Amino acid sequence: MSTKTLKKSTLALASALALAVMAAPADSWAAVDGEIAYIFNTFSFLVHGVLVMFMAAGFAMLESGLVRSKNTATICLKNIALYSIAGIMFYLIGYNLMYVDVPKGGFMGSLSIFYNPSADELALIGAGGDKATPEMVKKVADTGYSVPSDWFFQMVFVATAASIVSGTVAERIKVWPFMIFTVVLTGVIYPIQASWVWGGGWLAAMGFSDFAGSTLVHSTGGWAALTGAIILGARKGKYGADGSVHAMPGANIPLATLGTFILWFGWFGFNGGSQLALGSALDAAAISIVYVNTNLAAAAGVVVAIILAQLIYKKIDVSLALNGAIGGLVAITAGPDLQNHFIAMIVGGVGGALVVLAVPMIDKMKIDDVVGAISAHLVAGIWGTLCVGIFGSGSIVTQAIGIVSIGVFVSVTSAIVWLILKATVGIRADEEDEVMGLDRAECGMEAYPEFGTGSQRL
């Protein structure tokens, strides 16, 4: 077939499709057949989940850029390890605690172990295309989405919460105690508090709303990071006896910038996928609004952070600009379904401003947060959750109750785990190892051997 003939055929097909669409009744735009809705909803969970999974790379790059070069390999190790641990723990007990048999208005789900796929889906797969009956297909399609796709989408959220802790306690925590804490956080602490809302527990019954996890994911990670940083203590030399703060610049700003862009990219899956459906025109329109709000909030966070940094410090701190983007993203996560894009910019802009203001305040309290995660995830997360009551349809009192309740639960349980680890195996690296760098002490290698002490042996 010639190129001209192919173009004519394509044009004719496009015209026929356009006429068919225009001739379709208005109701066909609202929803689709049950099996097709099942396919689109499952597709949404899987693809948006992959985007959120890619955020693990974003956290790894952001943290690698903001720590000193002697600790970079350890950061990379922790990030790939925590993602893996989160997946296994959510499979073993986390999913059941969060979603299975949560009593209406209750406090947690089932204590049973092992997540199990749908029996109906397994039966359909086992029957194959030749033996599958319409009744078998209908049983599966009536659920609205594939059960494993939902598990995957929820699992990648758990890993995000653990990533937040990693950056805060970097450069002085031992790897194995951190991994043990990650086991408890992802397998028990996170699922229980998330069941209060997303599992239909007591906060959901009160009307608490958190669309994609400003509190349930980001503040939860922030509270766990805060308690860890307090119990662990600051890096050697970070604070002077006179209260002065000594800057410890990260080794690779380009890498941190790349990490921020990856997080921004992945956040479209984080917020967009939390619509939890793509089986109708309504869902598609809602996801589109969420995408736009997410992007505008992040952009506003960056611009406000840059302006505020210039006014306060007379210089534009790149790390504050990067965390401004994250602050804007975290803030909009609780209510990205706002129908007014300008309000989304206000939410994100204030989130970016709070990051710039919170970073020095936390330093004044001598809480050493290496990457600024407490400011970007905890502080901005609290603001974003309150915004659902300020700008959205929620109650600000109910939102505040949820914030405080989850904050107390996560802080207390995290502190207990941190203190037990400190009293048993110890959580802090030896002073000699900290000075040398955890790459050599914990991993026996350097991330940049050509430029570090390794270059002296080459």
pLDDT tens track for 401-441 = 999 999 999 999 999 999 999 999 999 999 999 999 999 99
Q: Are residues 133 and 120 in contact, defined by beta-carbon separation less than 8 angstroms?
A: no
What three-state secondary structure class fits 245?
Answer: strand
Report whether CATH 1.10.3430.10 matches the domain 32-441: yes
Q: Are residues 330 and 270 in contact, defined by beta-carbon separation less than 8 angstroms?
A: no
Q: Roughly how many angstroms between the first and final C-alpha of the chain, as a whole number?
A: 61
User: Does an H or E element contain 217, and which?
Assistant: none
- pLDDT tens digits along 264-278: 999 999 999 999 999
DSSP states of 268-293 as a string?
Answer: HHHHHGGG---SSHHHHHHHHHHHHH
Residue 175, both tokens: 């790897």
pLDDT at 243 over 60: yes
pLDDT (0 to 100) of residue 20: 40
Question: Which amino acid, 331?
Answer: A
Alpha-helical runs (H) found in 234-340:
253-272, 281-313, 318-333
User: Does an H or E element contain 172, and which?
Assistant: none
* Residue 90: φ, ψ to 5°: -70, -30
% helix, strand, coil for the chain, step of 5: 75, 0, 25
Strand-pair partners of 428: 173
Q: Are residues 165 and 228 in contact, defined by beta-carbon separation less than 8 angstroms?
A: yes
> How many residues can be counted in the chain?
458
pLDDT (0 to 100) of residue 451: 74
Residue 238, both tokens: 């970070």
Q: How many other C-beta atoms lie within 10 A of the C-beta of residue 30? A: 10
Alpha-helical runs (H) found in 67-92:
72-89
- pLDDT tens digits along 83-136: 999 999 999 999 999 999 999 889 999 988 888 888 989 999 999 878 889 899
* 454 pLDDT tier (thresholds 50, 70, 90): low
